[in-house]
Amino acid sequence: QTVFDILTIRKDFPILNRKVNGEPLVYLDNAATSQTPKRVIDTIVDYYSRYNANIHRGVHTLSQEATDAYEEARNKIQKHFNASESHEIIFTSGTTHAINLVASGFTSLLNKGDEIVVSALEHHSNIVPWQMLCERTGAVLRVIPMDLEGKLVMKEYHNLLNQNTKLVFCNHVSNALGTVNPIEEIITAAHKVGAAVLIDGAQAAPHIKADVQLLDVDFYVVSGHKMCGPTGVGILYGKEAWLKKLPPYQGGGEMIEEVTFEKTTYADLPHKFEAGTPNICGGIAFGAALDYMNGIGFNAIAQYEHELLEYATAQLLTIEGLKIYGTSTDKTAVVSFNIEGMHPYDIGSILDKLGVAVRTGHHCAQPIMDFYKIPGTVRASFSFYNTKEEIDILVAGVKRAKAMLE
Ligand code: PMP
């Protein structure tokens, strides 16, 4: 039972009308980046057509309008994630930038022998910055293992925690498999040993509305481009106490209170972490994207996407030799699969000829692929603007690819 008017929603996305290789586009690579509704595109055009100016400094009207719109977007994001203060929302260029900001900040707070826990289900952007932090500080990386269903082995997680654990990092949803991780349990247990927790919400944010106060999470990071916004903008949510404790990430304009050659004092939050001219238009457009998604409603989105997931899973499993990786019952609308004896890249290339966009490869999560002893998968990831008819086209395409490659 469809809970909202999918045809009306599809009209909001101009790109869905285009053809690829002579076929109507079937866009199933939403976990990599989502498409942009007209309302967000209009916001971008309006910004550059009417009030493009630098912010926080000019006395002139355009600068004030741009500053107001940018700060209003920050307030929208605060409200969306239920942060208690708007200055707990730091604009970044995306999830990767936000994680690096925190990892860099912890350099002066860690000592040799401290432990950092990450999960086996992480994206490379939630592994590499912590490895670099370990190299700088002598801290040790510990890994929460995963099981064959693509779920974290929580018993092992609890065994890993001890008085030396200073930080825990985990994604809310795995980009490669779609598994929703038990972050409430992860956060509560980490806090019991006094460790701070960063949750990578890049894959969760398009489907699940996280409440950072309810979660009591220390840091939560997302990218705008995965939730109907433009690329090049994202946020770091951080608890005020942590953001005050961490040193600035980059030095430059905007982040200072007073500069002399003897000593510089830093600006208050959030500006302390926002050196240089930010992606002003991107921030404003991110706010518009949240308005758009909230207009549809996250409950309705989750319910509809779950229908798509169940339908796609059932249809794909009718294909002989097809194996799905990530079989947790708590999943977002991602199906990662392979067909026995066939390379994911070959399947993806044939699908592209048919107008179907999927991702193939290791999905920036090589440790997961190593765990399953595979080079990669074909990943179809669905959004609320996809339809069951598009899934039928995908399934027919996979059957055709199989027949061609056999
Ligand atoms: N973490 C996860 C779970 C992701 O899926 C992604 C994007 N694929 C990232 C981090 C990195 O996000 P970005 O490239 O927008 O910085």
Q: Which atom of ligand 1 lies at the shortest distance from residue 95's CA?
A: 16
Q: How much distance in Å is there from the Cα of 129 to the middle of ligand 1?
A: 13
Smallest CA separation from ligand 1 atom 12, residue: 95
State the Cα–Cα distance between residues 268 and 284, nearest whole angstrom.
Answer: 21
Q: How much distance in Å is there from the Cα of 150 to the middle of ligand 1?
A: 18
Q: How much distance in Å is there from the Cα of 125 to the middle of ligand 1?
A: 7
Strand partners, 377: 361
Smallest CA separation from ligand 1 atom 6, residue: 202
Radius of gyration of the chain from Cα atoms?
22
Task: Please pick, among 170, 228, 281, 364, the residue that the annotation labels catalytic.
Answer: 364
Output the pLDDT for position 253: 84
Q: Which atom of ligand 1 lies at the shortest distance from residue 125's CA?
A: 10
Q: What is the ipTM, given to two decimal places? A: 0.98
Q: How much distance in Å is there from the Cα of 171 to the middle of ligand 1?
A: 10
Output the pLDDT for position 1: 47
Smallest CA separation from ligand 1 atom 8, residue: 32
Output the pLDDT for position 303: 95
Output the pLDDT for position 256: 84
Instruction: Work out whether strand 359-361 and strand 322-325 pair parallel, antiparallel, or are unpaired.
Output: unpaired
The H-or-E segment that residue 95 falls in is helix 95-105
Which residue among 177, 203, 222, 368 has the greatest number of ligand 1 atoms within 8 angstroms of its CB, and so is best to mutate? 203
Q: Which atom of ligand 1 lies at the shortest distance from residue 94's CA?
A: 16
Smallest CA separation from ligand 1 atom 5, residue: 175
Output the pLDDT for position 102: 97
Q: Which atom of ligand 1 lies at the shortest distance from residue 174's CA?
A: 3
* Ligand 1 pocket residues where CB is under 6 Å: 94-96, 123, 125-126, 171, 175, 200, 202-203, 223, 364
State the Cα–Cα distance between residues 52 and 66, nearest whole angstrom.
Answer: 7
Output the pLDDT for position 255: 87
Chunked mean pLDDT (size 10), the chain, 406 residues: 79 98 98 98 98 91 97 98 98 97 96 97 92 96 97 98 98 97 98 98 97 98 98 98 96 86 90 95 98 97 97 98 97 97 96 98 93 96 98 98 95
Instruction: Work out whether strand 334-339 and strand 377-381 pair parallel, antiparallel, or are unpaired.
Output: antiparallel
Site of tokens 């708007």:
86
Task: Please report the DSSP string for 230-299 in residue order.
Answer: -SS-EEEEE-HHHHHHSPPSS-STTSEEEE-SS-EEEPPTTGGG--SS--HHHHHHHHHHHHHHHHH-HH
Which residue among 95, 152, 228 has the greatest number of ligand 1 atoms within 8 angstroms of its CB, and so is best to mutate? 95
Q: Which atom of ligand 1 lies at the shortest distance from residue 171's CA?
A: 3
Q: How much distance in Å is there from the Cα of 49 to the middle of ligand 1?
A: 31
Q: How much distance in Å is there from the Cα of 121 to the middle of ligand 1?
A: 13
Q: Which atom of ligand 1 lies at the shortest distance from residue 32's CA?
A: 8
Smallest CA separation from ligand 1 atom 14, residue: 96
Which domains does the chain show, CATH number per domain? 6-30+298-405 (3.90.1150.10), 41-294 (3.40.640.10)
Q: How much distance in Å is there from the Cα of 97 to the middle of ligand 1?
A: 10
Structure tokens at 360: 């193939």
Task: Confirm whether 364 is a catalytic residue.
Answer: yes
| Residue 299 CB contacts under 8 Å (≥ 6 apart), including other chains | none
Instruction: Work out whether strand 264-266 and strand 256-259 pair parallel, antiparallel, or are unpaired.
Output: antiparallel
